[in-house]
Each structure stands twice: as structure tokens, then as C-alpha cells.
Chain A
Amino acid sequence: MDMDTALLLSILAATVQSGTPILYATLGEMFTERSGVLNLGVEGMMIVGAFTAFLATHLTGNPWAGVLAAGLCGGGLSLLHGVVCLVFQGNQVVSGLALTILGLGLADFLGTPYVGITTTGFQAFAVPVLADIPVLGTIFFRHDALVYLSYLLPPLFWLFMARTRAGLALRAAGEHPAAASAAGLSPVRIRWCGIFTGGFLAGLGGAYLSLAYTHLWTNNMTSGRGWIAVALVIFAFWRPGRAVFGAYLFGGVMALQLRLQAMGANLPSSLMLMLPYALTVLVLLASSARGGGRAAPAALGVNIEPEE
């Protein structure tokens, strides 16, 4: 295997790694939005997830405890959004923004004493048999448990939405809550589930950052990945398959940017750091030009007025 191929493979493998947290967060936000709730607090839930995952692992020594804590705390934070939007019919955009600010502030405040401390976290292991497949094995099957877990999510997401009773109900709550209500369902309860699940997955995305992508805690470790996830939901037209593509696209740009810096490419590093975010803007432009907004759940962002 020559140098160039090896480099390419390592960049692709790194693509999967840096795409994974975005994939978790994107699928989470997509889940929430399919239930009709726009939660712009992804960045906040992610960073809280990243911190609690680190902390729980640091305290217990078990990374799975960290993952669970991250999910629960991300989900718990999202419930705040639920209280604002589902109980008090507050503005979803404002509430989501507030959640992001709150989450970033909380993580910063609580995490300062732990900055720079390392933890065990997840280690990469090769999946028997699959890892030996040429090319694909190197790219996809020499990672850690959280990456493998993320492979299962998109098909599960699709199966849930298209083929289960609960998925049908969730879609109805996002498209036409009054119709769901008339069918004897409780769209408010469904949206609670949608919000919590989304927060849980965003928390897992954060956990990946502190337990697998790095093995330490630093401030602002999400650095805008939550916002990228929000944009990717639109880019993906609310479809899990496209979310995978989008997440790895961004992961690829991030990995490439890191690699270029490491190789000492003759480009200002700030310019390269900008790449993923510039891509976000382009992606949003492209998807709105293609009419992506029309694929949105019809009642996205619209609160359910309490019945008399």
C-alpha cells in the first residue's frame, strides 16, 4: 500500500470519526423536528452531554455510565424546551436559542475545574471479520463502540418512522397535530417524547466528543457542531439517509482541515477552520434553492394550542 492510499484511507477513517457526533446530533434534531418541535438548543445539549459524559466517566471509571449520563442530561435539558413550548406555548426559536446559551454557560461554569483532565473513555477496536474487508474495513470497522452504535441509528430511525405505529403517530404530531388529536392520540405527549429523544441523542453526540474523539474535557468542545446539525436536518430534507451523507460530508471537511494543518499546508489556519462553517452556509443555500423547506413537517415550529 503506497503512501497516498494510506493517507486517503486515514482521512476517510477520520471522516467517520468526526462525522459521528454530528450524525448523532442531526438524527436527534431530526427526530424532534419530525414531531413538530424546532429545538435550536442542540449546541447547548451537546456540550452538556460532553461534560456530563466526561464527569461521569471520570467519577465511575466506566465510559458507558458517561454515555448514559450524557443522554439523560441532554434529554433533561431538552425538557426545559418542552416546558416552554408544550406547557406555556412559548416561542420555539427563542426558547431553543436560550437553551444553547444556557447549555454553553452551564458546561463552562461547571467544567472549568476539570479543563485539561484526561479520562479513559472508549478505545478503538477492530470488528472481527468486517475489519479485514479491504478499504471498507479500514474506513468503517476500526473505531470505537459509539461509532458502531451510530451505524445502527439511521436504519432504526427509518424503520421507526415508516413502519411502526409510534412513528406514524410521531409524524402525525409533526404534520397536523389536530388530526393526531382527532385520531385519539395526544400530540403533546408525543412531542414530549420527540423532544426528549432528540435531546438524548444530542447528548450522545456530545459524549462522543469527550469520550472517544478526545479523552479529555476542554471548554467549548462542540465548537458549533450543534449548529451544523441543525443545518444538516434541512439539508437532509428530514430524511435519515441523507443525514448520514451530510454528517460524513462535514466530518470529511473537518478531518481534511485538521490533516492539512498537521501537514503544514501553506494556508492560514483560520481560513481552514472556517471551512465547515462556510460549507454550512453553502449547504443551506443549496437546499433552499432545491425547495428543501417544502419537505419540512407541516406543523414544524407551530405550537399546539390547548383545546378548550
Chain B
Amino acid sequence: MSDTPHTHAAVAPETPRRAREAHAHLPPVVRLDGICKSFGKVRANHDITLDIRPGCIKALLGENGAGKSTLMSILAGKLRQDSGSIIVDGTPTVFASPRDALRAGIGMVYQHFMLVDSMTVAENVLLGQSPHMLLRPARMRDEVAALAERYGLAVEPAARVGGLSMGERQRVEILKLLYRDSRVLILDEPTAVLTPRETDQLFEAMWRMADQGKALVFISHKLQEVLTVADEIAILRRGEVVDEFSEADVPNQTVLANRMVGRDVVLQVDAKRLAPVDTVLSVEHLSGPGLSDVSLTVRRGEIVAIAGVAGNGQKELVEAICGLARPEAGEVRILGRPWREFFAGPPGRRGLAYIPEDRQGLATCRQLDLVDNFLLTTRNLFAKGVFLDRAEAVNAVKRVVWEYNVQPGDITASARALSGGNLQKLVIGREFFRKPEVIVAENPTQGLDISATEEVWGRLLEARSTAGVLLVTGDLNEALELADRIAVMYRGRFIDVFDKDDAAKVQAIGLMMAGVRPDEPDEPDEADKAGEPDEADKAGEPDELGDPDQKDEAETPA
């Protein structure tokens, strides 16, 4: 067990890591040796060798589909490698299940949390772990509180998980592993669901865990975060480790990005401004469940981005605009027509295109082929009386598939044969085929790799010449690259709507996403910058997103 309390606490208070060298002399906890794994013909991992050392944060950097998650699922016992071995403490070990890996001290925090919403934090942490037949709730809470305190993972042990924010849930997941004395903690894209502030708190907790001798693996495709938090960086590309850097020799962001994708990628796009013309979408004082007094206009020739952490009313706003939910109070006008009138007519010729975030569930039907999927929203364009001109549609799909480079281009294949990126290209091709004048795109590049992202971005910018675009995104970079104006959403309202050229406001987006207006920094503990993590800013205070109403005890006896 390398979990020794560190004794180097006061060495360098200005750096976030206090005991980086404390565990440097120790041998690796885990060594992955020549791991290979294929799914059918797809080679997910090929001959990967990695050392994971105590007290060290190792970043696995790579695009979507580079094999990061596969590799870590193998290490966590969820998948079995085809060849190669996992060496724990110098002994080759076979994991038949995640249970075996957990027993060996290796645990993973998955992107989809494995938590029981109706149970308390303490119950979730002790699930399957309690040493006693009978549970003692008060003692469970104390134990969890002590553990949370030790690693700076603030969370209320008696709270029900269902009422917690994403950041808090993540802390519960980490606490579960810590409670089991896990020595290796694997975090799979942990920042995807966090606010900038929560991200900082997570990084601090990670440093704290590393200082106490834990080995951490941080899976990410976000360069900036990797550079901030990691001690060592391994770059995965197409299932192979193409580079490994230690803290001392980490190159700059551009070099890292190039190594990651294997060619020069311009992460900046050329977003020349167009002169906005007429207003195509206007939302005035829209309120309802999850929304309060939202006002916004989108003009032809511009992209308006709504930035914010998911779950702050974006979904409700999009549903109201796209006709999926009736606006309760306030007004929505699309192409000059009131909501009710606009959505009263038949779909298809409406001029509003919706590119949903859930491209597998909402945008397409998995079982249908590409032509049928294409016809889902364009069928009116191919209608001949009550019949569909399918031959015409087939030609159109072929053109779109070619023009948007959808791979594989077999239009008789069902939609599920397509990867997320290719499906997205098909959806965008389909929606743009209708020549929309209003485009609502919801996280259009989520889960796409860099080249597909670039393509989608290019299409959206192109579309400005004939349409107004409302871009809902959780990716700040995307908002900054594409948008002419940015609205920051928090808890159902816009904190601010401003022009991208307003440097001061752009600087403060992180704070706004956490609900702080830059002009009124009333809460002192919220006032610190969301950029660099700050040692003084302990991850101590409970998250404001937590729901205090959820603390009632379990069922009562008869």
C-alpha cells in the first residue's frame, strides 16, 4: 500500500503540488505491457506499454476513438485484452471482471456515473463495502465525511445523490474508489460535465490525491486541461502510444495537438464576420419550467452561441424554439411569424432546421437506412401526393453523402453502422438540404474528433450566408470560435449577452457560467478567477447546485 500520508506539506505553498517528488522513487503500481485489443476488424489498441506510478497524474491524451477508453476499460477489468499483460506490483495479473481490478486497487470513474440516485451519498459510497451485516447510518456518514475532508472532496454525506450537481456526483464516485483504498484512479473525461470552477476543484483534489500517493490516470482530449493538471502525458493515436512526455519535457499546445491528430490541425477557424441582415428568430421574455425571462434575437448572417454548463435551461429553450414544447409565457417569433402560427403548418417546408445533441436518439432512427433517415425531415420535398418519390430521394442522399463525405457511404446501411461523426455529417447534410433560414444546433461537435469538428464548424459558418444560427454549446472554445455574439446561460436565465469582441466579458465567461455577473461580484468566494487553480481556494464549500431539500431519511417503519 503506497497510501502513506505525506510529510512534505509545507515545501512549496505556491505550487499546487506539495509532494510531487515524494513518491518518485517508488516502482510503478501498474505496468501495461504490450496490450492489444481489436473489435472485429477495428484495432482499438495495439501494443501499448505504459507505466502508472504512485503519486503521479498521468494524462492519456487522444482524439475520440483513439483507444483511450478501451485501454482504460481493460485496466479496470471491464474488457479483456487480446494479448499483452497487466502487471500489478510486478506480478502479471488477469482481471476477469471490474471486481478483480477493484480488489487489486484499480478503480475507474466512468463518464456515466454509476450511482443510485435514490440513495444517500454515504450509502452509495458504502454499497458493497460495508463490513457489517447491519448498517449504522450515523457512522457511515462520519466515515464518508472524514474521507471527503481528507481529500478535499466536499460533499454532504447525508444528501441524496439525485439532488446533487454533476460535480458533486463525480466527487461521490471518487470517494467510492478512495473508500476502497484504490491505488490507481482512472478518470474518464471527468471535466466534460463540470463548470470551470468545479473543474478547478477537481484538479485540486487530484493533486491532493497524488500527493498522498495515489496514482491517477486522466483521460482527456482537452489540451489545456492536460497541460494544467498532468505530471506525465501519453498521446494515443489510432490505438497506439505515439508519444510520452514527462513534466519536464512537455512541449507547447500546438505541438501536442499535432502529435495527437497526426497532422497540422488549425484549431482556429476563419470566422470572418458577415453583416447581419433581418431578424429570423426572436425570443422575448420567455419563461416556463427551467426558463425565466429569456430574451434573444438571431439575425440572418450571424451565429449566436449559448454557452453554459448543460442543464441550465438550454434544453428547455431549444425545445420551445423548435416546437417540441409550447412556450408557457413570453413570445417566440420565427421568421416573423408567431410560434403557434409557425408550427401550425406542415413540417418540412418550415425553414427551421434543428440539429439535436442526441443524434442517435432524436435525430435519427438507428434501425432505418440512410435514405429513410434522410426522409425523416425532408419527406415533404419528395412528396407526390400521398406517395414518396424514393428514387429522387436516393439521388439526393447520394449527393449529400458525397458532398459531406459521410463514411461509409453505403446508403442502404442502417444508421447505427455510422460512427457519431459521420452520423452528424449526415444529419447536417439533411437539415441543410432543406435550405433552412433558422438553424438551431445543439452541441453539434460533441464527441466528434478534430477533423470532423472542423468540418462541422465550416458548414455552420457557411450557413450564415443564408440563415441565422443559434448554437447551443457546452464547449467554450466552440462558442468563441464560431459565434458573433455569446449568451451565457445559468439556471434558466441569461447572465449576459455580449459581442465576441468584448474582451472583458469574454474573459469573464467562466465566472458567468457559474452564475456570477462580472459587474456585481457580491460573493467574495466566487470572485476568484476561474482560470488558474489557486491553492488558497480550497474545494471546501459545498456546491451551490446541491439540493438541500433531499435530505429526508429513508422509509419509516410500519
Residues in chain A within 8 A of chain B (CB atoms): 154-155, 158-159, 161-166, 168-169, 171-172, 175-176, 178-185, 239-241, 244, 298, 307-308
Contact = CB atoms under 8 A, between A and B. Distances in A.
Contacts of B132: 165
Interface of B: 78-79, 97-99, 102-103, 110, 114-119, 123-124, 126-130, 132-135, 137, 176, 554-558
A56 B335 CA distance: 79
Contacts of B129: 183-184
A1 B281 CA distance: 80
B549 to A, nearest CB: 15
* Majority secondary structure of chain B interface residues (helix, strand, loop or mixed): loop
A165 B133 CA distance: 5
In the complex, which of the residues B78, B124, B557 has the most CB atoms of chain A within 10 Å of its own CB atom? B557
A158 B557 contact: yes
Contacts of A181: 98, 114
A184 B99 contact: yes
Contact of B127 (A163, A183, A239, A308): A183
B558 A155 contact: yes
Nearest to B557: A158
Contact of A179 (B99, B115, B130): B115
A11 to B, nearest CB: 22
B558 A244 contact: yes
Given A155-B557, A155-B558, A165-B135, A175 B119 contact: yes
Contact of B554 (A162, A175, A180): A162
A201 to B, nearest CB: 16
13 contacts: A155-B557, A161-B554, A165-B132, A169-B127, A171-B118, A176-B116, A180-B127, A181-B98, A184-B98, A241-B555, A244-B558, A298-B116, A308-B79
Nearest to B123: A168
A179 B116 contact: yes
Given A179-B127, A180-B127, A180-B128, A164 B557 contact: no
A155 B137 CA distance: 18
A178 B116 CA distance: 9
A269 B114 CA distance: 54
B127 A168 contact: yes
In the complex, which of the residues B123, B135, B176 has the most CB atoms of chain A within 10 Å of its own CB atom? B135
A183 B117 contact: no
Nearest to B127: A183
Contacts of A169: 127-128
A81 to B, nearest CB: 24
Given A168-B126, A182-B110, A183-B176, 6 more contacts: A154-B557, A158-B557, A166-B133, A168-B123, A241-B556, A241-B557
A307 B114 CA distance: 15
Contacts of B99: 184
B121 to A, nearest CB: 13
Contacts of B97: 307
Nearest to B109: A182
Contacts of B134: 163-165
A181 B78 CA distance: 11
B54 to A, nearest CB: 23
B555 A161 contact: yes
Contacts of B115: 176, 179
Contacts of A308: 78-79
Contacts of B130: 165, 168
A176 B78 CA distance: 17
A171 B119 contact: yes
B189 to A, nearest CB: 17
Contacts of B556: 158, 241
A184 B126 CA distance: 11
B170 to A, nearest CB: 14
Contacts of A154: 557-558
Contacts of B127: 168-169, 172, 179-180, 183, 185
Contacts of B103: 184
A166 B133 CA distance: 7
B117 A175 contact: yes
A184 B118 contact: no
